[in-house]
Amino acid sequence: MSRDGGGLHTRVKTARGRTPQSTRWLERQLNDPYVKRAKAEGYRSRAAYKLIELDERFTILRGSRRVVDLGIAPGGWTQVVRKKCPKAAVVGIDLLPVDPIDGVTIFQMDFMDDAAPAMLIEAMGGAPDLVISDMAANTVGHPQTDALRTMGLVEAAAEFAIDVLEKGGTFVAKVFAGGADSAFVARMKRNFATVKHAKPPASRKGSSEWYMVAQGFKGRAADQPS
């Protein structure tokens, strides 16, 4: 490992057993200001700042009383929710194990499991007013396939949100640029007063990820094609 530019940039030498791709990833992590800031401020991932920046723009978290974090691992988004909404009931769900977070109920299961909605609502004591999702499908290295796989998760998360949100609620999810088809966007607009897309500064410039912010849930009766 070496430094150039007067000690401002950390360069990683390719070690035995480490691929060039993993070397680039490690170098990027070591030089990423959001990674350093997350460590300093106690967040589990740099992704925490994506939610912070989305909240600064769209006022997502203010007044939230019951929150579901779909795909909670490793927990950065939920840490932000707990910090900004300390009185809210927060539940998270993920296929992966997640270290405990004070004041949060975490389920290790598939959010698409038929039993999941009732379990989450019972844990919160009522329907959520905010559903957040930073999920992305495991990548296979083919951009179009990766985008389609992630959009499948987004559509499943939206289905979940439409099924459980209380009227007036908000849904936030990671999407990919150009990944949402017109039928899906039309459905979201039928169900929410506003549907906007944003790329927060914490989202890496080279990434195709964007975020959908759907606010003002109209209620399940609105989910009918016009």
Report the greatest alpha carbon distance in the chain: 62
d(CA 81, CA 154): 20
DSSP 161-222: HHHHPPTT-EEEEEEETT-S-HHHHHHHHHHEEEEEEE--TTS-TT--EEEEEEEEE--GGG
Tokens encoding 183: 């039928």
Q: Using the 8-state DSSP alphabet, how is residue 142 labeled?
A: -
Which entry of 50, 174, 189, 218 is annotated as an active-site residue? 174
Give the Cα separation of 67 and 56 in Å (integer).
18
> Is 174 a catalytic site residue?
yes
With 0-12 / 13-18 / 19 or more C-beta atoms within 10 angstroms meaning exposed / middle / buried, residue 67 is buried
Q: How many angstroms separate the CA atoms of 63 and 205, rounded?
A: 31
Candidates 38, 31, 34; CA nearest to 12 is 31
Give the residue numbers annotated as catalytic, written as ranges: 174
